[in-house]
Amino acid sequence: MDHRGPFPKTTAAIFRWAETVGVFIVFAATLVSLALALWRMVNERSFALEEILLLFVYLEVIAMIGIYAQSHRVPVRYPVYIAITALARYLVLSSKTLSALEIAFVSLAILALAGAVFTLRFCESRFQTDDD
């Protein structure tokens, strides 16, 4: 075998095709979800913080898909950003029903994720390789 990687060329092409289709499906679903959320906000004339945070989740997913489409790499920080925004949204939506301990745990989770982003950014700037 004179090709690179563990799969024959046709199998690798099938994987690339399936990956492209999958990314397109995720992108289309995200756009539809974003449009539906905007439509619901306009119809209900409700522009509360939780809806705006949901829009940020959609925008982060779109940004992550865009970066992936260009580089064929999932930037690790973007899922962490999405998790932080989702937890913040959860905290806003559920703050009236959560106990003080649950609020503290969710807040600690957000803080831990923020620490992870800081560590990732530090390592990227400090230990960046030539192929990045």
* pTM for the model: 0.69
Asked if 132 contacts 89 with a C-beta cutoff of 8 angstroms, the reply is no
Q: Tell me: the pLDDT tens digits for 3-56?
A: 566 666 788 788 888 888 999 999 999 999 999 999 999 999 988 888 888 898
Q: Tell me: the pLDDT tens digits for 68-105?
A: 888 888 778 888 998 998 999 899 889 889 999 999 99
> Each residue of 25-42: b (16+ CB within 10 Å) or e?
eebeebeeebeebeeebe
Rounded distance between C-alpha atoms, residue 106 and residue 114, angstroms: 12
Q: Where are the domains of the chain?
A: 9-126
